[in-house]
Amino acid sequence: MASSLTKDSASTPGSERTFFGHPRGLATLFLTEMWERFSYYGMRALLVYYLVSGGADAATGSQGGGLAMTAATATAIYSVYLSMVYLMAMPGGWFGDRVWGARKTVTIAATVIMLGHLSLALPGQAMFFVGLGLVAVGSGLLKANISTMVGHLYDGPDDPRRDGGFTLFYIGINLGAFFAPLVIGTVGKEYNWHLGFALAAVGMGVGLVQFLFFTRHLSPKSSEVPNPLTPQERNSVLVKVVAAVALVAVFYAAVVALGMYTLSWALVPLTLAGLIIPIAVIVRIKRDKELTGSEQSKVNGYVWFFVAAAIFWMIYDQGGSTLSLFADDKTAGSVLGFGFSATWYQSLNPLYVMALAPVFAWLWLWLARRNQEPNTIVKFAMGLVLVGASFFVFVVPMGMAGDGTKVSPMWLVSIYMIQTIGELCLSPVGLSVTTKMAPQKYASQMMGVWFLAVTAGDCTTGLLSIAGIDLNGTGIIAMQATLAVAAGLAIYMYRKKVQALMGDVH
């Protein structure tokens, strides 16, 4: 599979082959990530629909056989699931650095993901939540390590091919995300839920097989454990993990025995953890007395970006929940007589990213040559205002559909485009500013903190849903839009103060 995507390089001696001029191992990682994203986004496109199927909040005439939950509960589960994927990226990186090494961690992660999808393919609510948990854990483990392995293929950060390699890798992510809703989404939603989940398992299985078969092309660094645990540390970790698991098991056993258990007993603690852990991590870094005054100032400045990103992802990630439910129930399912599944809307974002990312890369360079490129703070403000604007636009078709009218699909096509433009203003810049503002001591951990902003945003959505707030109502949509725009204007108005905290970072 990898060899079919490789070609001879004029600059390499002998019979050595490359992947579009890059190390051959990039083909292995490209395909692994593409298939993993195919399975992940395919299942994600089905998730909310499966949860509400058979219940009062399912679209009229939709397939039965789901879990018949309310839209609020489905949104809460969806949000908590997404937050756990990003939350698990931090321990995932720890396992790669200190226990298994990146290559072994990715192998185990892919296996766990595949088993998770297979569990989802089996009927029953218990197997569903087991599968969801396995996919979340596996995705977090893989996400934290596969990008590291891409970096291992190059001769340090100054290798001129490095940025291009990550760009190709990013294309693999979006290719998988684009095709998943079209294939897995259509089969699962329109024909059989569990067959769709099984296809997601097949996708991850294909990715795992080719990863193992072509693993010889990866860098030897990927098999190393950079900072292995000492025997004392390993024993300490085992004791703490066993104690924590035992405590949780005893607590929930008591709740079940007393007949008090409901789904909220699982969702509320996970949601609160997703909010508390990011705050605790930032506070711990901030209180480190070994940080210099400049590093302390940069951490203070980074808090602005973290909060802004959390608000952004709170709205953006509702593309698979709030917007998906609207697409199925209140949006016309055909264009010019051509019918399509509501899951297809989930393919719009990766399509827009592939189309617009090169345009934005060119635009920033063009503006930079004229000394007119917006700085990081302004780009963040633009991202927040745009994602807020997308929900202000969303209010219009919501009002039009109030009397049962099916609105044009172009409303959602436009909303997803506005959100993607906002993402391209904020997300790549956020990754970059994180590396620039991270204290040297916490260079790797701060990347995990960036992902925790997604966790915090999704957990906020989950907490609102658990509290009984109808996120599918016009009022709450307008309120979220106002919050995002206000946050964008605030960070713009205080840009000089934030820039002062950032020091020499621009």
Is pLDDT of 159 > 80? no
Q: What is the pLDDT of residues 356-387, one digit of tens each?
A: 988 988 998 898 899 998 888 999 999 999 99
Q: How confident is the model at residue 506, as a pLDDT?
A: 65
Average pLDDT estimate for 436-465:
84
Q: How confident is the model at residue 304, as a pLDDT?
A: 92
Token representation of residue 440:
């040297």
Q: What is the pLDDT of residues 284-331, one digit of tens each?
A: 888 888 888 888 898 899 999 999 999 999 999 999 999 999 999 999
Helix axes 125-152, 102-120, angle to 10 degrees: 160
**Contact (Cβ atoms closer than 8 angstroms) between residue 388 and residue 483:** yes
Q: How confident is the model at residue 119, as a pLDDT?
A: 96
Query: Exposed, middle or buried, 151 (CB in 10 Å: 0-12/13-18/19+)?
Result: middle
Token representation of residue 142:
């893989």
Q: Alpha carbon 406 to chain centroid distance? A: 30
Q: Mean pLDDT across the chain, nearest whole number?
A: 89
Q: What is the pLDDT of residues 80-138, one digit of tens each?
A: 999 999 998 888 888 888 889 999 999 999 999 999 999 999 988 999 999 999 999 99
**Contact (Cβ atoms closer than 8 angstroms) between residue 442 and residue 298:** no
Token representation of residue 443:
């260079």
CA distance 36 to 38: 5
Token representation of residue 441:
């001591």
Q: What is the pLDDT of residues 424-440, one digit of tens each?
A: 999 888 877 887 888 87
CATH of domain 16-228: 1.20.1250.20
Is pLDDT of 392 > 90? yes
Q: List residues bridging with 339 in a β-sheet.
A: 334
Token representation of residue 262:
């409901």
Q: How confident is the model at residue 365, as a pLDDT?
A: 85
Q: Which residue has the tokens 């063009």?
A: 366
Q: How confident is the model at residue 440, as a pLDDT?
A: 76
Q: pTM for the complete prediction?
A: 0.90
**DSSP classification of residue 101:** -
Q: List residues bridging with 407 in a β-sheet.
A: 331
Q: How confident is the model at residue 444, as a pLDDT?
A: 65
CA distance 75 to 52: 10
**Contact (Cβ atoms closer than 8 angstroms) between residue 96 and residue 102:** yes
> If pLDDT is split at 50, 70 and 90, which confidence band does 174 have?
very high
CATH of domain 265-506: 1.20.1250.20
Token representation of residue 283:
């506070």
Q: How confident is the model at residue 7, as a pLDDT?
A: 42
